[in-house]
Chains A and B, each alone.
Chain A
Amino acid sequence: EPEVTQTPSHQVTQMGQEVILRCVPISNHLYFYWYRQILGQKVEFLVSFYNNEISEKSEIFDDQFSVERPDGSNFTLKIRSTKLEDSAMYFCASRGTSASSTDTQYFGPGTRLTVL
């Protein structure tokens, strides 16, 4: 069964450093998302991406964040200058092939980001 994959599974970085989290969505999906979950808290939406552009973003997704689909398979989240409060589990998700709003979002296993 196709699945969303994410690398690395765990990233440790120093405050102020740039990190890139990588995701490979399900191959025929067109809609891509990043969410994050701070330890013990809710899963929060960060950004959605379709047709090579951001379609929606939350207040969390400020200028320190960017997303890119550099080729036909990868979808990346970059944090330019990490802060302690960026420590969280970051989930990538992808969704179907149509504009239907009833498609399931499939989540990857997550990348645990630890900022020291």
Chain B
Amino acid sequence: SQQGEEDPQALSIQEGENATMNCSYKTSINNLQWYRQNSGRGLVHLILIRSNEREKHSGRLRVTLDTSKKSSSLLITASRAADTASYFCATEKSNAGNMLTFGGGTRLMVKP
């Protein structure tokens, strides 16, 4: 898989359930960032986790990073219909000028 690949590609859950999305990458990174995109709209930054961090929380979001497995997960707890969107991980590689490499995204649908 390419740098920054999410799985699943699509996820459908009921409101109130938790949603977990995973991201894998291949090279060494400085940090990993998660973004959200509503259909046809801009990218909203959710959370950044540095390569020396293992877990980070922000509201209902929990991100983990396992650099030994080159993987990250995004957990959204107590999901709401408004969480329906595509979620992308993006990695900032070491020695790569801070450019972000995005994965293909997970399309999350939260049914009311």
Contact = CB atoms under 8 A, between A and B. Distances in A.
Interface residues of B, number: 25
A102 B52 CA distance: 11
A105 B33 contact: yes
Contact of A31 (B45, B98, B101): B98
B104 A56 contact: no
B45 A43 contact: no
B103 A42 contact: yes
Contact of B100 (A55, A105, A108, A110): A105
A102 B99 contact: no
Contacts of B81: none
A109 B41 contact: yes
B102 A48 contact: no
Contacts, number: 61
Determine the main DSSP class of B at the interface with A. strand
Given A33-B99, A43-B102, A45-B101, A102 B42 contact: no
Interface string B86-101: 0010101000111111
Nearest to A105: B100
A101 B49 CA distance: 12
B96 A110 contact: no
Interface string B14-42: 00000000000000001101010000111
Interface size range of chain A in the complex: 20 to 34
Chain A contact residues: helix, strand, loop or mixed: strand
Given A43-B90, A104-B33, A48 B98 contact: yes
A89 B43 CA distance: 11
B105 A105 contact: no
Given A102-B31, A107-B35, 18 more contacts: A35-B100, A35-B102, A41-B104, A42-B88, A42-B102, A44-B102, A45-B101, A48-B99, A56-B96, A56-B99, A58-B99, A93-B100, A101-B30, A104-B45, A105-B33, A106-B45, A107-B42, A110-B42
